[in-house]
Structure 1
Amino acid sequence: MSAKNKFGEKILSGEFTVTVEINSPKGTDVFHEIKGLEQMVEMVDAVNICDCPMANMRMSPITTAHIVHELTGIEAIPHFTCRDRNIIALQSELLGAWALGIKNILAITGDPPQRGDHPHATGVFEVDSAGLVKLAKELNRGFDLSGNELRGSTDFIVGVACNPGAEDLNAEIDRLKQKIDSGADFIQTQPIYDPDVLLRFRDRTSNLGVPILAGILPLKSHKMAVHLNDKVPGISIPLKYIERMKKGPEEGVAIAMEFMEQILPYVNGFHIMPLGNTATAIELLNYIDTIKVRKVI
């Protein structure tokens, strides 16, 4: 592994690791999306760049990741979905990403096009996320998927997503094991709000030996809390938190802080999803700095 991949070295060594998530721009103004990152340079280990989330067209996450690293020095983790590329394009883009200095990726299957702003687009899905992990690891070995030797190999650190609150947790864990068997190096979870959900998941996966970063999505309103709890599969928000959100958005930050402190002993770090709110991200990152000392004592 390249010595320049500080995030990869840190997470693989078992150190407490923190990431934050941003979107690529809907257009060419990348600076609007990343302007808050310069305030987080000393606070985060890497920045996740979503890949056309919810199947809504945005700038290439590879391009955004390269710009983020060039302008801020923060390691980037572009998401790669299987929705928009066949196995030739996936390999080609991964090789290009490596040439641009990108050392980490998150392999995800991706939302179907029907959910997004181009519902008549054709989804590819030639492989799923486990297949994409295997593909990336073959490039690391110096070969393409057809067994042809490359002139120069990659050395990606490959992450995967999972949902600890999935309704069918057995099936979710089975899929996670497939990803790990394919070579996944770390896990970033979907948003969690209930400590019991995280603990149940940890009890079932503690033998997998892969670092887990818990997903933290601060609630912005009571309406958001109700919607996530009632309409989004796999997200369970304790009723006491939903009730507290009637007090205002500041309660969302307070709830996130309480939750992080509760689960601190059971995770390898946090993945913050601030929905573009730089102030919220910095507030949570400052709080993490105060509590993560307890993780290493």
Structure 2
Amino acid sequence: MKALEIQHNNILGSHLKYLRDQKGWDRKALAEKLGVSASYIGLIETNKRLPSTEKLDRYANVFDVSLKELELLLEKQKAADGSNIQDEACEQRDLNVEDISLLEHFLNQLNNVQKTHQTDIIEKCQKILYDHFRANLQSYTLPEVIALVKTEFTSCGSTNDPFNEQILEGIFTLSSEHEVYFRLSNYKQTITLELPYEYKDYLPLFEDSIGPHDFILSVEENTPYLFKQRDCIQFTWFSPVTSLQQQFDILYNSNVNYRDIVSNSLKLEWYIQQKLERFDFDLVK
């Protein structure tokens, strides 16, 4: 077991990057060894996310360093940064009997309030919940999101477990009063970027980085901190290593209807039409 040299003012993410650089690995290579996505490595190394103890143990094994020393750095970073960095170990728990009882008590009390005041109370509760869920979403700049998509696209199809979906969601800011919710997923040799429909014109910024998308799907999705569904658009890129047959299989086994898909690949469009005409079935599950 090698002794760990403390570097970069005891910030865990910087130390882990230092150890990776010492090995001569890029983020994709380390991600494969840890069983995570390359974008996850980026979040850890840039101090935007804190790893769980289980993930920290993987780091210790891969880098052949002491877990206790990494845990010490983790505690120092938590103390230095307070609650500004999302802790992966802080998972949401299910409602228990006491929680439900408190909610029922609140609703009963609300019924005793004059109707004219109930709306104000509900709006204040919504504001509290909005602030809570919004605080749990990581903020990015638009260039950072573009870089994340590029990183995920580079690693797409290289994971040891193609059925282990990696999802990242957050907010990217366009101005002090203008922020956009996004969801990025890496699953079954595809990268999917989901944006509110009104921001579909931002697609060329991502295509300039990783190339033309393969298909578009318009959907209604829940936005966590708005508590309602909204029209969204999903841009999907297939890994360069996937064949037309694999692309068709991925679409066929997805819970989508082909009629809702707008293909941007002439080869894929032709291949799908050949399959549909030959076997006389629709691309829907």
Query: Does TM, scored on the shorter chain, surpass 0.5?
Result: no
State the TM bucket, normalised to the shorter chain: under 0.3
- Normalising to structure 2: TM-score of the pair? 0.25
Write 1 or 2 for the structure with the bigger share of helix. 2
TM-score by length of 1: 0.24
Return the structure number with greater strand share: 2
Q: Which has the higher contact order (CA 8 A, sep 6+)?
A: 1
